[in-house]
Amino acid sequence: MAGDWTIPQQWERYSAAEHAMWDKLFARQAAMLPERVVPEFMSGLDMLRMTRPGIPDFDELSERLTKATGWQVVAVPGLVPDRTFFEHLANRRFVAGRFIRTPEQMDYLQEPDIFHDVFGHVPLLAHPVFADYMQAYGEGGLRADGLGAIERLSRLYWYTVEFGLIRNEGGLRLYGAGIVSSHAESVFALDAPSPNRLGFDLKRVMRTPYRIDDYQQSYFVVESFEDLLRQTIETDFAPLYAEMAAEADIPIEAVLDTDLVFTRGTQAHARSGES
């Protein structure tokens, strides 16, 4: 492992069964996403030629991605330290695990695998505005590290990059990687009556905890990638961190009077204890 936690992907070592698992996961998501996901995601799949069978080779994928937006994909052994993660994003490198889930883990695994990391995240890195947002987030993460505010900023990543929704002329659409790489949550996030779907507000999001072990109880809806990027680069986060240090977290299921409410959820799923 290199000092920046990167490792060779060793694409040639993937077995036929591992390539088949990627193809099975890909086919399942590709069949359901076109009417649910933001169009830029599907465009990224095509532009990067991710529709070809088999696990993508990071070198080939990075060559196409670099031409589009200056990003590349690098392999890591698993989760990396926060500062290392931010440094990679700030330098337009997306870190991805190289292992793929087993058939027994097809519908759920706790640690993100190559399908989540590459299928879920990489297509939108071919979109110039979202690519700029990811770099800006990495730069913001380095500043947050120095201010002791990583936990606050991690909530922004969670509710946008991982579990974000967006509003366009067709209604609400998916874009977060944690949703688009999950067959069940791709349905739950848009169709289930249980979760709240609320308008995105930067400070509101950073005051809201999140679930790592189940579907989200609240999703936040951005107006556009342009607006998300604008808010991120025009906001002075340091005063926000200082304000939030004296404020309590907002309960994960709460709907505030000041929220823009697309859906006031029943929270039935969370109360049922199902997962």
Q: Is there a contact between 223 and 167 (Cβ–Cβ < 8 Å)? A: yes
Cα–Cα dist 273/275, whole Å:
7
Angle subtended at Cα 243 by Cα 237 and Cα 245, rounded to the nearest 5 degrees: 100
Cα–Cα dist 89/208, whole Å:
23
Cα–Cα dist 222/199, whole Å:
6
Q: Is 121 a catalytic residue?
A: yes
Cα–Cα dist 89/22, whole Å:
25
Q: Is there a contact between 145 and 84 (Cβ–Cβ < 8 Å)? A: no
Cα–Cα dist 16/82, whole Å:
34
Q: Which entry of 40, 62, 87, 116 is annotated as an active-site residue?
A: 116
Q: Which entry of 162, 182, 185, 194 is annotated as an active-site residue?
A: 162
Q: Which entry of 62, 87, 88, 121 is annotated as an active-site residue?
A: 121
Q: Is 139 a catalytic residue?
A: no
Q: Is 269 a catalytic residue?
A: no
Cα–Cα dist 245/152, whole Å:
10
Q: Is 181 a catalytic residue?
A: yes
Closest to 22 measured CA to CA, from 52, 58, 46: 52
Residue pointed to by tokens 């404020």 = 247
Cα–Cα dist 264/156, whole Å:
21
- Decide the pairing of beta strands 196-199 and 218-222: parallel
Q: Which entry of 62, 181, 182, 218 is annotated as an active-site residue?
A: 181
Catalytic positions, please?
Answer: 116, 121, 162, 181
